[in-house]
Amino acid sequence: MKTLDQAAVGSRVTVKRLHGERALKRRIMEMGLTKGAEIFVRKLAPLGDPMELTVRGYELTLRKAEAALVEIE
């Protein structure tokens, strides 16, 4: 199982599944990270956290702990 926090900078990935508790999972879905959504990993902060993503035409910054809940392919 590969998760979003393991994706390399410059890669394009697709959301396969979301993990986590109900409230956190819903919050992630409200940000546009739903099953089948394509994500472009733009860059990482100097210390590796957070990550900057492009999802559905907008830029999103996500913590590594939250990105670890997004299973990708």
In this prediction the pTM is 0.85
**CATH assignment at residue 33:** 2.30.30.90
Q: What is the pLDDT of residue 55?
A: 93
Number of domains in the chain: 1
| pLDDT tens readout for residues 9-49 | 999 999 999 998 999 999 989 988 999 999 999 999 988 88
Q: Catalogue the long-range contacts made by 61-65 (C-beta closer than 8 Å, 24 or more residues apart).
A: 62/4, 62/31, 64/5, 65/5
Residue pLDDT, tens place only, 53-65: 999 999 999 999 9
Domain interval for residue 12: 2-72
